[in-house]
Amino acid sequence: MRSDAGLDRFISEGLKEAAGRVEVPARCKTEIDTQIVSAESDQQTGGTKQMRSWTFRKSAVAVVICSLLIGTGVFAAGRIASIVSHGSSEPRVTEYEKIDELETEAGFTIRTKEDFSNGFVFTGGGIVDTEGQDEQGNGLSSWKMISLTYRNAEDKELTIDAEQEASFDQDLSGNASETRTIRGTEVYYDYTEMYLVPPSYRPTAEEEERNRTDPHYTIAYGSDAPETTYSSTLCFAKDEVRYYITTFDDLSADDLFLIAEELLE
């Protein structure tokens, strides 16, 4: 995947080409278009914007996020069709004691820990401004999400994002790969294989079939050459707050479930 300064322009031009010829749900197309505009705007202002089913940093997987969002069917019919989130790549706070400042701004409190028994330690946090849109891209509601980042000694990273359940209706079970009950709370885990390809790539019949039928596999545009990456996400709701624990690094389901267990203590 590109890491040079031209990445945003590469993604912007690639998504424009891809979106013009790939059949996608209307609400997904709306979110892709929104991400394209955001990427171009940020290239001029120096900011960073994100979109999510859960919070992801790399614009190159924007279509992946949209695919995951649409694929799980988590939104109530006739209501929010897509979500666009805007946040800085730089942490607002780097001291654990200042998380209460984020809670004050967001308007709710969350379950947190400075470190976990599997070695993950808090490194920073911030606020993500989020908007729910209809299929035409019209804003229906907006809310703030708290996003915290943790790293371990092997430099593996995960994020813990939290938002109020009242923000929008969502079925967290979706296409969960595994579900566990921890201290009376249902916790859902999903492991997704993402096949990133260049804008000119034509999927094989087998790839297209898997993309249609496998809820844990998706094809998306945003890479110089075909490559496979993975995301692991665990989510649950407690005390009227939804939590999303996400990583792109090689972590087991047990690693994420352990973090959920310690948050639910």
Summarised one tens digit per residue, pLDDT across range 46-58 is: 433 333 333 333 3
The two three-digit tokens of residue 45, written as one number: 């202002």
Percentage of residues of the chain with pLDDT beyond 90: 37
- Determine which of 19-28, 106-115, 147-156 has the lowest per-residue pLDDT on average: 19-28
- Least confident segment among 71-85, 94-108, 159-173, 175-189: 71-85
Tell me which of 79 and 104 has the higher pLDDT.
104
Percent of the chain with pLDDT over 70: 63
Residue 227's pLDDT is what?
87
Q: Contact at 8 Å (CB) between 93 and 112?
A: no
State yes or no: pLDDT of 79 exceeds 90: no
Least confident of 173-182, 211-220, 252-261: 211-220
Which of 67-76, 103-112, 144-153, 155-164 shows the lowest mean pLDDT across its residues?
67-76
DSSP state of 240: T
Number of other residues whose CB lies within 10 A of the CB of residue 200: 9
Task: Compute how many other C-beta atoms are within 10 angstroms of the C-beta atom of residue 45.
Answer: 8
pLDDT of residue 129: 81
138: helix, coil or strand? coil
Q: Flag whether pLDDT at 39 surpasses 90.
A: no
Cα 224–Cα 29–Cα 41 angle in degrees, nearest 5: 65
Question: Tell me, what's the pLDDT at 77?
Answer: 43
What gap in Å lies between CA 67 and CA 249, rounded to an integer? 20
pLDDT of 86:
61
Q: Which residues contact 31 (CB under 8 A, 6 or more apart)?
A: 51, 66, 69, 82, 83, 84, 133
For helices 26-45 and 62-72, angle between their N-to-C axes, nearest 10 degrees: 150
Residue 2 sits at φ, ψ, to 5 deg, of -65, 145
- Tell whether the model's pLDDT for residue 33 goes beyond 60: no
* 117 pLDDT more than 50: yes
Q: Indicate the pTM of the whole model.
A: 0.69
pLDDT in tens, 133-185: 776 667 767 788 899 999 999 999 999 999 998 777 778 887 788 999 999 99
